[in-house]
């Protein structure tokens, strides 16, 4: 795993969030809400599951239907570091949501456009 992966997990551990290393992802969790960090050299996606993350230019917000179509279960957002130099704000915001238990709002117009762009890039 990369230094970035190790640093992201360390940030979560410092917040006393539960860390579970799985085969392809590291799960950062509290109260059935999770943030998943890829276990690979390049972290190009961070999945947010069980709640809607804050709207940020690095975040692609998913509806239940989007997640179902993409076979992503309860994932409601994908943080894509390549989309913004300030992507760490989105990651920290997702960890804040894990800590305070808020679930977030539904997709805004800007976030819907980012989903279209994200899907087109796949």
Number of compact structural domains in the chain: 1
pTM of the prediction?
A: 0.84
Tell which wins on pLDDT, 103 or 68: 68
DSSP state at residue 1: -
CA dihedral 68, 28, 36, 20 (to 10 degrees): -100
> Strands 18-21 and 33-38, how do they pair?
unpaired
Q: For the segment 80-119, what is each residue's pLDDT rounded down to a tens digit?
A: 999 999 999 999 999 999 988 776 655 444 555 566 566 6
Question: Residue 99 belongs to what domain range?
Answer: 3-121
In the predicted structure, residue 13 carries a pLDDT above the cut 70:
yes
């Amino acid at each position: 795993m990369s230094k970035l992966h190790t640093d992201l997990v360390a940030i979560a551990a410092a917040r006393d969030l539960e860390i579970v290393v799985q085969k392809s992802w590291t799960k950062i969790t509290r109260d059935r809400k999770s943030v998943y960090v890829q276990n690979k050299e390049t972290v190009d996606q961070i999945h947010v599951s069980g709640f809607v993350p804050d709207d940020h230019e690095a975040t692609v917000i998913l509806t239940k239907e989007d997640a179902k179509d993409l076979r992503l279960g309860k994932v409601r957002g994908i943080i894509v570091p390549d989309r913004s130099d300030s992507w760490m704000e989105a990651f920290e915001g997702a960890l804040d949501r894990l800590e305070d238990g808020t679930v977030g709002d539904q997709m805004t117009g800007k976030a819907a456009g980012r989903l279209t762009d994200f899907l087109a890039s796949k």
